[in-house]
Amino acid sequence: MKKIITIIALLGSTLFADIAVVTNPSNGVGSLDASQVKKIFMAKTKKFPNGKSVVTIDQNTGNDAYSTFYKKIAGKSPAKMNKYWVKLTFTGKAEAPKKVGGDSDVINTIKSNPNTIGYIDSSAVTGDVKVLYTVK
Amino acid sequence: MLQLLNIKKMKKSILSLVTISLLSSSLFAGDVRVGGFINVVAGINDMDNSQKDIISGYDDKINFQAHSLAGIQFNADVANNMGAVVQLIAQKSDANDDIRMEWGYVSYDVNDEILILAGRVRPSLFLYSNYLDVGYAYTWITPPSEVYYQAQITNLDGLNISYDLELEDSTISLNIYGGNSSGEKINPADNTHLDFSYDNIYGTELSYTNDYMKIRAGYINALATQNPVPPYPAEIVFDDSKAQFYGLGISVDYEDILFASEYTIRDMDETVAPDVTSYYAMLGYKMGDFTTSYTYSVADSDMEFSTVADLSVAGMVNGARASQLDDRTTNTLNVRYDLNSAAALKVEYSMCTKTNSSFNGTTTLTEKDEDINTLSVALNVVF
């Protein structure tokens, strides 16, 4: 019974963890709303609201952050996201964000590329990145 | 990768020696991304070789070649708002392996709303036209031939301009394209090849897309010419003959439910190719990694009898027209299993009732129904 409770607690913590949408503090972007986040990550726009170009980066497909993020912002499972990108890729319209790894890889990539945007578990946020939106 | 870097270094040093500033821009243009897809498809039906099904290419011996193909795509950024895409497809055709370019264009982002493609593009004739060769992207092994076989144009050389209006949770898109194309068709009467060319192609598509649904309406117009001209009377020869397609489509992918339906009309000026009305409806249900779907598809063609006074000419014209009639009704059951996030295995069983028409020399058509049962299996991979 204890085990089950622990498992449920663990599942709960991963399923309901907040996800922070982050960028490099130097690019001057203030904050984003849910719809702007969705448009950027679904490749509907290639610019931040301030007109600067944006490069999206993804966590690896198997990460909890990946499935939670896209379920919340677009209502899509990893399998549906994959089909979404296949259609866009092979018509040449847009390409899927580059998969860089986990939370720390996202932070490291953003540190060295001012126009990148990614998402990480809110508990992993450091001073190297600026939070633009929190997916709850 | 290391080799690439070395080449880049080498190029850089050569360039710095000769200082050709024009060329140096290509060094900073970013890398070329490569992706691709493979369809391995095997099919068999219950027709012997003499009655081979022209549309599927199958007979009573297992055929791995008719629908298997491999595609490779290169994407590159040329400049901030400019990109280049080339998609090559290799497929068995007759005795040889055929490599063709399906997409090959330069794209220019005017802004977030307007995108211009120049080069070889796929006209958005049907719901799945843009990624017709990427089997992984849809639930069937091939989209219903009753609808998709009606157009021989799969790509054109020209321009495509699209305008995307982003609403809160949906997109309204207007697509306009124009150009010319050429293709090849097998003459069912004697299995000879006929070259087709399509000039003055122009078309448009209006669509509405949200997170789980797409609705579209499309129109395309072209002038069709056939070469070499078979020994047919002038009445049934294509020479800048007007061909038009109209299409409506809807696809839904909501939770575990899949639904798609299209309705198309083919309207040919010359009557050697009949006017065809075709449609299908597909309903599917997902259970974990399995998707089961049922599709009902119909093609219904119309023939006009020749009114030429010379009976021998009229007989030939009507005979040729009758042989082109294409009436089919197919029931298809498909099970798709997603092996992982980049591979799907599909099994499909279809029962088609085909009406064979022949002209008996007077003014009546003789129609004979024939049943074709086809089993096919596919492995679709994207990479």
Q: B156: pLDDT confidence band, cut at 50, 70 and 90?
A: very high
Res A13: pLDDT: 47
Residue B1 lies in a domain: no
The minimum CA-CA distance between B208 and chain A, rounded to whole Å, is 14
Q: B1: pLDDT confidence band, cut at 50, 70 and 90?
A: very low
Q: B30: pLDDT confidence band, cut at 50, 70 and 90?
A: low
Res B228: pLDDT: 67
Element (H, E) at A9: helix A2-15
Element (H, E) at A118: strand A116-121
A62, closest residue in chain B (CA to CA): B341
A106 lies in which domain range?
17-135
CB contact under 8 A, B80 and A95: no
Greater pLDDT, B46 or B367: B46
Res B271: pLDDT: 62
The minimum CA-CA distance between A52 and chain B, rounded to whole Å, is 12
Greater pLDDT, B80 or B119: B119
Q: B7: pLDDT confidence band, cut at 50, 70 and 90?
A: very low
Q: A16: pLDDT confidence band, cut at 50, 70 and 90?
A: low
Q: Token pair of A53, please?
A: 């170009």
Which of B85, B137, B341 is nearest residue A79 as measured by Cβ atoms?
A: B341
Say if B94 is an interface residue toward chain A (CB within 8 Å): no
Residue A12 lies in a domain: no
pLDDT tens by residue, B177-202? 999 998 776 655 566 677 888 999 99
Q: Is the pLDDT of residue A41 over 80?
A: yes
Res B196: pLDDT: 83
Residues belonging to chain A: 136
CB contact under 8 A, B87 and A45: no
Greater pLDDT, B238 or B158: B158
Residue A5 lies in a domain: no
Considering all CA atoms of chain A, what is the largest pairwise distance in Å, rounded to the nearest integer? 54
Say how many domains are in chain A: 1
Q: What is the mean pLDDT of residues A46-71?
A: 92
Residue A131 lies in a domain: yes
Say if A92 is an interface residue toward chain B (CB within 8 Å): yes
B189 lies in which domain range?
33-382
Residue A2 lies in a domain: no
Say if A71 is an interface residue toward chain B (CB within 8 Å): no
- Cβ contacts of B83 on chain A, cutoff 8 Å: 92
Residue B383 has a CB neighbour count (10 Å cut-off) of 11
Q: Is the pLDDT of residue B19 over 50?
A: no
Residue B37 lies in a domain: yes
Residue B241 is part of a domain; what is its CATH number?
Answer: 2.40.160.10
Residue B9 lies in a domain: no
Which of B103, B107, B341 is nearest residue A61 as measured by Cβ atoms?
A: B341
Q: Is the pLDDT of residue B15 over 80?
A: no
The minimum CA-CA distance between B133 and chain A, rounded to whole Å, is 9
CB contact under 8 A, B171 and A44: yes
Say if A51 is an interface residue toward chain B (CB within 8 Å): no
Res B374: pLDDT: 96
Q: Is the pLDDT of residue A50 over 60?
A: yes
- Cβ contacts of B75 on chain A, cutoff 8 Å: 89, 92, 95
Report angle CA B246, B178, B245 to the nearest 5 degrees. 15
What is chain B's mean pLDDT, rounded? 85
Contacts of A33 (CB under 8 A, 6+ apart): A133
CB contact under 8 A, B112 and A74: no
Res A85: pLDDT: 95
pTM, two decimals, is: 0.84
Q: Is the pLDDT of residue B154 over 50?
A: yes
pLDDT tens by residue, A89-136? 998 888 899 999 999 999 999 999 999 999 999 999 999 999 999 998
A43, closest residue in chain B (CA to CA): B112
- Residue B223's Cβ-count burial label (10 Å; 0-12, 13-18, 19+) is middle
Say how many domains are in chain B: 1
CA dihedral B169, B175, B181, B186 (to 10 degrees): 50
- Cβ contacts of B107 on chain A, cutoff 8 Å: 92
Res A1: pLDDT: 53
CB contact under 8 A, A82 and B169: no
pLDDT-above-90 percentage for chain B:
56
Contacts of A12 (CB under 8 A, 6+ apart): none
Which of A35, A61, A91 is nearest residue B131 as measured by Cβ atoms?
A: A91
Q: In what order do the strands lie in the sheet with A116-121?
A: A98-101, A55-59, A116-121, A19-23, A130-135
Say if A86 is an interface residue toward chain B (CB within 8 Å): yes
Res B17: pLDDT: 38
Q: Is the preceding omega at residue A114 within 30 degrees of 0, hence cis? A: no
Residue A122 is part of a domain; what is its CATH number?
Answer: 3.40.190.10
Residue A4 lies in a domain: no
Q: Is the pLDDT of residue B295 over 50?
A: yes
Please, which residues 104-123 of chain A have a Cβ atom closer than 8 Å to chain B? none
Q: A8: pLDDT confidence band, cut at 50, 70 and 90?
A: low
C-beta of residue B280 within 8 angstroms of C-beta of residue B295: yes
Res B141: pLDDT: 97
The minimum CA-CA distance between B128 and chain A, rounded to whole Å, is 9
Q: A5: pLDDT confidence band, cut at 50, 70 and 90?
A: low
Which ipTM did the prediction report? 0.81
pLDDT tens by residue, B211-270? 899 999 999 999 988 876 666 666 667 788 898 999 999 999 999 999 999 999 999 876
Q: What is the mean pLDDT of residues B359-365?
A: 71
Residue A11 lies in a domain: no
The minimum CA-CA distance between A43 and chain B, rounded to whole Å, is 10
Greater pLDDT, B96 or B261: B261
The minimum CA-CA distance between B311 and chain A, rounded to whole Å, is 51
Say if A61 is an interface residue toward chain B (CB within 8 Å): yes
Res B9: pLDDT: 45
Q: What is the mean pLDDT of residues B339-366?
A: 87
Residue B14 lies in a domain: no
pLDDT tens by residue, B113-122? 999 999 999 9
Say if B177 is an interface residue toward chain A (CB within 8 Å): no
Residue B181 lies in a domain: yes
The minimum CA-CA distance between A91 and chain B, rounded to whole Å, is 6
Res A2: pLDDT: 56
